[in-house]
Amino acid sequence: FFHRLHPGTKIFLILVIGVITLLTLDIPVLCVILIAVLCMAFIGRVLREVLQQMALILAMSVIFIFITLITMPSGEVLGYLIPGGFLPVTTGALYAGVLLTLRFAILIISFQIFVITTQPRDLVNTLEKMGVPIDYNLMFLIALRFIPTLQIEATKIHEAQLARGYAPGSGFVGRIKSVAPVMIPLVSNALARTTVLGLTIDMRGYRTRTRTPFREEHMHLLDKVVCVVIGMVLIAFLGIRVFPLIS
């Protein structure tokens, strides 16, 4: 179902999810949105790929909560991070940290579902029809195509270094030491790949600024129904949460 939707419908869906997520201050509502996004990933059969980002989300959640504990000491004091009355843990800071964590998780997971279930060429054609300049489309396409490639290549370089007997150690210090032996060949290979990419772009007539899409995407009845439902959800949310606060 989600793979068959038009890229424009998916963009509208992701934008609505982002607006509702950023305007919501209730943790239970954000939990419901997060569960809905995970269910969407399960229906789209990309839940396994989405769950691979949980390590990043958990790490960022710890950072968010720690930053809010330091910068937002408001509310009832529950304890102290440092004995002796230093760095108080307050209810307001915990609430803000959990709020930021849920927002981050929802935005990351929803955008990842969008990227996984959308062909890059279809996305670029849709953005071009929406009036986005072709240069920005090219940068976005290159980022989508080559970031996963660089991640795989970084893993291979790290495994090759370990196979040659390089032992950076364990723990946080070991991870820091293992960065340089991976980044130097990775950046070198990426710079070498840019030459081939530039020649390929020129050979395909990029400078002529004329494009011939291989496949045209059209809005079907399913896309229109989904857009109407999403629009109704957005209007209902704004009517319940936002407009009363403005008035």
Reported as a single tens digit per residue, the pLDDT across 166-201 is 776 666 666 676 777 788 888 888 888 777 877 887
Q: Which H helix or E strand runs over 70?
A: helix 54-71
Specify the pTM.
0.68
Residue in 41, 93, 106, 32 with CA at minimum distance from that of residue 64: 93
Sign for the pseudo-dihedral over CA of 50, 52, 57, 58: positive
Task: Indicate if the pLDDT at residue 214 is higher than 80.
Answer: no
Q: What is the pLDDT of residue 35?
A: 92
Residue in 37, 224, 233 with CA at minimum distance from that of residue 116: 37
Cα–Cα distance for residue pair 154/187, rounded to 1 Å:
10
Reported as a single tens digit per residue, the pLDDT across 67-102 is 887 777 776 766 776 666 666 777 777 888 888 889
Asked if 97 and 74 touch (Cβ cutoff 8 Å), the reply is no
Sequence letter at residue 29: V
